[in-house]
Amino acid sequence: MDSTDDVIDLICLADRPGTSGHSVAVRVLGRSQPGILLGHDFLDCEIVLVAESLSATLSVTLLPEDLEDWEDALATLESQRFATWLTSGRTPSLEFKPDGHKRMSVSVHDGPASGVTVTLPLFVLPTGWVGEQRALLTHVLDVYPREVIETSSGAYVWRRDRNT
């Protein structure tokens, strides 16, 4: 049922080559419950953090509204303002703090499981990084289109026409 068996990036933020080597990524692994009406549009993902002395992966399941929230967070980040994402309390959350000088710190707080917070400074973001993140989001939405709709409160059906 999935359009791909490959891992694709939803977020990929990294220092330019030759700098700290820090990176934060959210990788989409596939649909959480393909073919099951209530879980089909959920995406199994992993948050991947890399720094000099750290390599960590956190599992997360994203809902369709989480992707909409990421789009909103990107609009906030484009204006060089602080943004948060995944703040429902059911998953690790992310905070993005740009400093206006092509630098940003990204904090990942694993409140639901370990309670650990990791903050990585990204020292030199490439020009156009917000556009690159939007392109990644668009690619994820193209590969994993929303195929289930809520017709009334608590009633779900398969979408017949993907254009609606």
Distance, CA of 65 to CA of 12 (rounded, Å): 20
The reply to whether 2 falls in a domain is no
The reply to whether 3 falls in a domain is no
The reply to whether 13 falls in a domain is yes
| C-alpha closest to that of 37 among 152, 148, 145, 159 | 148
pLDDT one-digit tens code per residue, 4-30? 468 999 999 998 766 778 999 999 999
Low-confidence ranges of the chain (pLDDT < 50): 1-4
Q: How far is CA 12 from CA 17, 93, 119, 149, in A?
A: 14, 16, 16, 29
The reply to whether 88 falls in a domain is yes
pTM to 2 decimal places: 0.90
The range of the structural domain enclosing residue 151 comes to 8-158
CATH of residue 150: 2.30.31
The reply to whether 133 falls in a domain is yes
How many domains does the chain divide into? 1
| C-alpha closest to that of 143 among 52, 18, 31 | 31
What mean pLDDT value characterizes the chain?
Answer: 91
